Chains A and B, each alone.
Chain A
Amino acid sequence: MMMRSAHHRVPLAVAALGLAACVTRGDIEEIKQGLKEINTKLDRGARPQQPQQRPQGPDATAVYAFPVGDSPAKGPADAWVTVIESSDFQ
């Protein structure tokens, strides 16, 4: 019985060695690099949005040429101040 199981083990070990011999150091580096990239992506996906990834909003110091057009409006058309609201319902 013991002999048989040892016998079985031999071809397996050879096969594994054969595989190892085909993989060069360069390949390993490439695989490592790939894993690193995958991990980075996973990491990014798992975390809440980073501040630097937040899309840039309007510049608070600028004046934007926002046309009123025929949008629904309240109050006199010739008011000194026009407030445009961009809104939606929940």
Chain B
Amino acid sequence: MPTAMASECAREQGKFWEMHDQIFQNQQMIQDPDLERYAKQIGVDVNRWKKCYADNKHKARIEEDQRVAMQLGARGTPAFFINGRFLSGAQPLPAFEALIDEEIKKAKESGLSRREYYEKAVVEKGKKAM
């Protein structure tokens, strides 16, 4: 939870992935002073970041994401949904490639445009588990 909040607070300032990458590369060093150091390194406004972090500002959003994953039964991480199709755990690359290739083919044959495909074919027609 602290790392997720640190990332969300960086995201406020447009630096989500920068914080994400720092934490991901230093998974043994994620105490508060470490997170603050990363905030400095990625170049966010540190005072604003610190206040956001201390206030647990984005806790509800993170909990909502966790709730959705739990409800779907995706209890372990990582869990992937490729155009809505579940792939569990850290699978080898070919497992991803196979699913992605199938989905690209399906999408191109759908007659829908790229812009509307996910919304129309996956979100609207998919199983509403949430």
Contacts and interface: CB of A to CB of B under 8 A. Distances in A.
A58 B86 contact: yes
Interface residues of A, number: 30
Contacts, number: 121
A2 B104 CA distance: 97
Interface in A42-71: 55-60, 62-68, 71
Interface residues of B, number: 47
A63 B104 contact: no
Given A64-B72, A64-B129, A82 B122 contact: yes
A27 interface: no
Interface of A: 55-60, 62-68, 71-72, 74, 77-90
Given A83-B81, A84-B80, A86-B81, 17 more contacts: A58-B73, A58-B79, A62-B86, A65-B123, A66-B81, A67-B130, A68-B118, A79-B114, A79-B118, A80-B114, A83-B80, A83-B100, A85-B78, A86-B77, A87-B77, A89-B3, A89-B4
6 contacts: A57-B86, A58-B79, A64-B127, A64-B129, A66-B72, A66-B126
